[in-house]
Copies of this chain bind each other. A is one copy, B any other.
């Protein structure tokens, strides 16, 4: 059984097929958040702290930490900023962290101060990346996210993306890094632009699980890019990828609809033992608040139909024609 172990100073988490889905909170990331980027450059980490606390409160299993403020020379500025951000976050919450940077020096600087066993996000199949990141993964004995693209970019052919993932796993093995420390991101395309994007990912996830036997992750909300009511698409995608074998995702845990889908899929996948997390979270849930967007448009129906079909069959058992 593939088990990827990540840890903070105090808490160890296992990513695996028999584990609850690992929700990696994506919020601490200045990319596309101008205000946050400006704050971080000024040394103001109020939003970082707020995002850390809110994501953990909302149920994040881990937090991704990115300090890519796109300065003129990230190689010069990002290492110190990532170290500072990481230290603040690991001083505030006790979930394991993911060190997210495209700057190798920043990753190494963060690995030097990180407590426990962080996840490194990420390496790709690009030769330069493999040579830069894999030695660090080996040296610090940490797991890494492997993104299925290489020098040729992101292939639309899932077989090519599988081949890139396989190459990364093999190259890691050359460095003495076991497959259970590689968490493959098969790359999720927007379904609005490519109608096969969902089926591609589901098929890829099965192959990654059955052939490479690796854990997997993705940037979850990419799937709904460009569509209305993105949370509804995301919330449908989560059970489908979990059913196909995905074991983690980088996502926003502060979205209740998505987190409800994660919790439901954990129940259905048998990783929420005795449904305890579900029952604890929703035991006081009021049906009237079920709150789907079309609720107001549909007249209330009489009584709860739940279980009727089964009851009906049982009730009819003695009345065969």
Contacts and interface: CB of A to CB of B under 8 A. Distances in A.
Interface stretch (A156-164, A167-175, A176-184, A278-286): A278-286
Contacts of A308: 26, 29, 31-33, 221
A48 to B, nearest CB: 12
A293 B260 contact: yes
A292 interface: yes
A310 B26 contact: no
A318 to B, nearest CB: 9
Copies in the complex: 2
Contacts of A250: 309
Contact of A102 (B102, B261, B301, B321): B321
B54 A301 contact: yes
A221 B306 contact: yes
- Chain A binding site: helix, strand, loop or mixed by DSSP? helix
A62 interface: no
B35 A302 contact: yes
A124 to B, nearest CB: 9
Interface stretch (A7-15, A85-93, A111-119, A262-270): A262-270
Given A222-B309, A260-B294, A269-B199, A243 B233 contact: no
Contacts of A33: 302-303, 308
Contact of A75 (B104, B221, B321): B321
A265 B236 contact: yes
Interface in A240-270: 240, 242-244, 250, 252, 254-257, 259-261, 263-265, 267-270
Interface residues of A, number: 117
A20 B275 CA distance: 31
A195 B31 contact: no
Interface in A128-174: 128-129, 132, 147
Contacts of A66: 312
Nearest to A256: B292
Contact of A221 (B106, B270, B301, B305): B305
Contact of A267 (B27, B233, B312): B233
Across chains A and B, which 9 residue pairs bring their CB atoms closest together, nearest first?
A236-B264, A291-B291, A219-B309, A104-B321, A256-B292, A31-B312, A103-B321, A198-B268, A229-B282
Interface of A: 26-27, 29, 31-33, 35-36, 47, 51, 54, 57-58, 66, 68, 70, 74-75, 78, 101-107, 128-129, 132, 147, 190-192, 195-196, 198-199, 202, 219, 221-225, 227-233, 235-240, 242-244, 250, 252, 254-257, 259-261, 263-265, 267-270, 273-275, 278-279, 281-287, 289-295, 297-299, 301-313, 315-317, 319-321
Given A74-B321, A237-B268, A289-B291, 13 more contacts: A31-B315, A36-B302, A195-B273, A199-B270, A223-B268, A227-B279, A228-B279, A228-B282, A228-B284, A236-B238, A239-B240, A252-B301, A256-B297
